[in-house]
Amino acid sequence: MRSLSALVALALAFGAAAVPSTAVHKVKENVVSPRGWTKRAPAPSDHIIELRIALPQPKFDVLEKHLYEVSDPFHERYGQHLTKEEVEALVAPEAESIHLVNEWLASHGIYEDDLARSPAKDWVHIKVPVSLAEEMLKTEYHIWTHDASGDSVIRTTSYSLPEHLHEHVELIQPTTVFSRTKSLKTSFRFSEAQEKSVAIAANAPPISVPSASGGHVDASCNQTITVTCILELYNAVGFKASATNGNQIGITGYLEQFANIQDLQTFFAEQRPDALNSTFKTILINGGENNQTLDEAGAEANLDTQFAYGLTFPTPATFYSTGGSPPFIPDVLTPDDSNEPYTEWLDFVLKQKTLPQTISTSYADDEQTVPVSFAKRVCAGFAQLGARGVSLTFSSGDGGVGDGEEDPALQECFTNDGRNVTRFVPLFPPSCPFVTAVGGTIHVPETAVFFSGGGFSDVFPRPAYQQLAVSKFLNKLAPGTYAGLFNPNGRAIPDVAAQADLFRIFLSGRPVSIGGTSAAAPTFASIVSLLNSARISKGLPSLGFLNPLIYALQATDPSVFNDITTGNNPGCGTPGFNATEGWDPVTGVGTPNFGKLKDIVTFDFADVLTNAAKLGA
């Protein structure tokens, strides 16, 4: 492969393009200047950026059909997940698209040895100087600075392609993406008095919760959430996951969040002593690191790993540390200028033959900051994982119906399209219909926690699997409620919920109390992983894409979820939505009852359907 220095020299010496293109260019994508960002100086011409070129996936509708069939418990193909090779065949671009894009790249002096391709050949990656990228895309890159944080990126608001390529190139990034991926923790505080309060609470009588293990939960769980609290509350006490049946759980980490093993051992010693001296596998992606200096432990990473691995022990566990989201610092010229970490992670995991059956993520962007083309393409990547039998959970957000800012005074509930119209702000990827969005609850008995993110996507239409449940909620709303503030036809979030505050973890050697839907997502994912362990031990496939099953079960046996009917999620100067009977945009269909779910999902649905068909005949 050509060296970057050679490419730089080539671009500077020959005016960026080795072979000038005479093709007529037409604007492929443009966005208005993003609110909250300021355009600074032109981008340095010799700065190297990695362009990602997405080629169309003409058979994606076929993949989507397969996904829904293997995920629908009422379909005869339920659980018959696709292989890696089968998925790749369904997302592969047409040969003509590959040829024409190759021809265009060659016209700019870029050949096969200069690029990398995804296994399905639907993504092409090239590293080029800014000057060459500007020539190829007939655009100008600038340094843009986020006003509130000072973060900077190299971006453009418009780019063009030769007209004949428009139907053969879906998108090119980084160009118009101005999103700022953030972890979703709403409260984080040291609590040195925690131990005393727990000791006092432990003397109180248990709280009666009929759906819990043994019908009660320790009273201390109203002040401090531990592994034991979760197992009691969600009826999972006594279940032993397998260490050897092939089941695995994964946690994603971004933004230099490091999961500290020493803190994990301290956590295990206190809350899961049988797990002491066990650990997890760390996989480094795109320059990700594994800094084990105690002071560098990440609150988000520690929260996710300590509870997920504590709840699912001895299930083999993986932590993905993904780099590539610095952001760019103009005076340092960081070589990897990217804040699109999901694509880096997806690039890696889609290449793997074997994957954890359950993977949780506690990071998101405001949906409106992600170009529609990019959001849809990333969402399609999640669909590929679902088709292969992977369950993906994402935190629904920590700003109620707002944009994720903990302080309502800092929420910016306006459209990002130049109109500055007041609007609720759903988050992406939770708004992707191929993932399971997890909202938050607090206390015992459970009520919706005020920061639980929820609402309706402005990008993705409502999928069929949630049509019945969501329509019932909308029909109960008073006419005109929040008219114009949300899209009543959009994909609705969250799907489910779990405890989301007062989690006791260890961070840099100290006990702390932490909360957010970033706690709820790995908690729900852990329950799913335990269900997968039970299924796999019975010779059944993993649950895979969860949502069709979730809504089918809620419609047929609502007791498998603990319906949350109190609380609301204020934001954008409003009280937000109310938790209510059935699905709601605060807690979804509710929190899990593991015992009841296990009894259902360890049936072989395919056998049940086959026998039913025989009886019918």
Sign of CA dihedral 555, 251, 146, 572: positive
- Residue 286: the pLDDT is 87
Q: What is the pLDDT of residue 526?
A: 98
User: What does the radius of gyration of the chain's CA atoms come to, in whole angstroms?
Assistant: 24
Least confident of 83-92, 146-155, 289-298, 402-411: 402-411
If you write DSSP's letter for every residue of 537-582 in order, what string do you get?
A: HTTPPP--S-HHHHHHHHHH-GGGEE---S-B--BTTB--PBP-SS
Q: Is the pLDDT of residue 21 over 80?
A: no
Q: Give pLDDT, residue 177.
A: 84
The predicted pLDDT at position 23 comes to 74
- Domain end among 126, 144, 178: 178
Q: Which residues contact 479 (CB under 8 A, 6 or more apart)?
A: none
Same-domain check for residues 187 and 168 = no
**Among 423, 545, 550, which Cα is nearest to 490's?**
423
Burial label, 595 (beta-carbon count in 10 A; 0-12, 13-18, 19+): middle
pLDDT value of position 197: 46
Domain shared by 161 and 198, yes or no: no
Question: Regarding predicted confidence, which is higher, 176 or 431?
Answer: 431
Helix (H) or strand (E) holding 125: strand 123-129
What span, in angstroms and rounded, lies between the C-alpha atoms of 496 and 494? Answer: 6
pLDDT at 176: 86
* Residue 11 falls inside a structural domain: yes
Q: How many CA atoms lie within 13 A of 445 on its CB side?
A: 12
Q: Which residue has the higher pLDDT, 369 or 327?
A: 369
CATH number at residue 528: 3.40.50.200
Residues with a known catalytic role = 300, 304, 518
pLDDT for the residue 414: 83
Angstrom distance (rounded) from CA 340 to CA 362: 15
Numbered residues of the known binding site for Ca(2+): 563-564, 582, 584
Q: Which of 197-211, 219-233, 408-422 has the highest mean pLDDT?
A: 219-233
Res 490: pLDDT: 98
- Is 434 part of any domain? yes
pLDDT for 131 beyond 60: yes
Over pLDDT 70: what percentage of the chain? Answer: 86
Q: Are residues 8 and 105 in the same domain?
A: yes
Q: Where are the beta strands (DSSP E) in 418-470?
A: 427-428, 436-442, 447-448, 455-461
pLDDT score at 431 = 97
Q: Is 62 inside any structural domain?
A: no
Q: In the numeric block, which tokens belong to residue 322?
A: 């993904």
Cα 571 from Cα 254, distance rounded (Å): 26
67 vs 337, which has greater pLDDT? 67
Residues 444 and 393 both lie in one domain: yes
Q: What is the mean pLDDT of residues 31-53?
A: 88
Q: Quote the domain boundaries for residue 136.
A: 4-57+92-178
159 and 277 co-located in one domain: no
What is the model's pLDDT at position 187?
47
Q: What is the pLDDT of residues 511-541, one digit of tens each?
A: 999 999 999 999 999 999 999 999 999 999 9
pLDDT in tens, 311-325: 999 999 999 998 865
C-alpha distance from residue 527 to each of 424, 434, 492, 497, 592 (Å): 30, 19, 22, 12, 8
- Rounded-to-integer distance, Cα 51 and Cα 137, Å: 11
Same domain, 125 and 199: no
Verify that 111 and 247 share a domain, yes or no: no
pLDDT the model gives residue 421: 85
Please indicate, yes or no, whether residues 223 and 168 belong to a single structural domain of this protein. Answer: no
pLDDT, residue 202, reads: 52
Nearest partner of 305 among 342, 359, 224, 229, judged by Cα: 359
pLDDT for 11 beyond 50: no
pLDDT category of residue 417 using cuts at 50, 70 and 90: confident
What per-residue confidence (pLDDT) applies to 10? 42
Report the pLDDT averaged over residues 554-570: 96
Pairing of strands 123-129, 48-54: antiparallel
> What residues are designated binding site?
563-564, 582, 584
349 assigned to some structural domain = yes
Beta strands 591-592 and 561-562: pairing type? Answer: antiparallel
Q: Is the pLDDT of residue 379 over 80?
A: yes
Same domain, 197 and 169: no
Q: Given 153, 178, 203, which residue is the final one in a domain?
A: 178
Given a cut of 60, is residue 130 above it in pLDDT? yes
Distance CA 64, CA 358 (A): 20
Alpha-carbon dihedral angle through residues 586, 390, 342, 122, given to the nearest 10 degrees: -130
- 506 in the same domain as 492: yes
For position 364, what pLDDT does the model report? 85
- Choosing from 158, 178, 198, the residue where a domain stops is 178
Q: Is the peptide bond before 44 cis (omega within 30 degrees of 0)?
A: no
- Using pLDDT thresholds of 50, 70 and 90, give the confidence band for residue 602: very high
What's the pLDDT at 69?
Answer: 98
pLDDT above 70: residue 405 = no
Quickly state the pLDDT bin for 371 (edges 50, 70, 90): confident
* Number of domains composing the chain: 2
Q: Report yes or no on 255 lying in a domain.
A: yes
The residue type at 228: T
Q: Do both 505 and 544 map to the same domain?
A: yes
* Number of Cβ atoms within 10 Å of the Cβ of 607: 10
Quote the pLDDT of residue 259: 95
Q: What is the pLDDT of residue 357?
A: 98
**pLDDT surpassing 70 at residue 612:** no
Distance CA 59, CA 384 (A): 12
The pLDDT tens digits of the residues spanning 306-357 come to: 999 999 999 999 999 988 654 444 444 443 344 566 788 999 999 999 999 9
Which of 174-178, 194-198, 480-484 has the highest mean predicted lDDT (pLDDT)? 480-484
Amino acid 192: pLDDT: 45
Assess if residue 173 is contained within a domain.
yes
Q: How does the average pLDDT of the chain come out, rounded?
A: 88
Mean pLDDT of 31-51: 88
- In the DSSP assignment, the letter for residue 173 is E
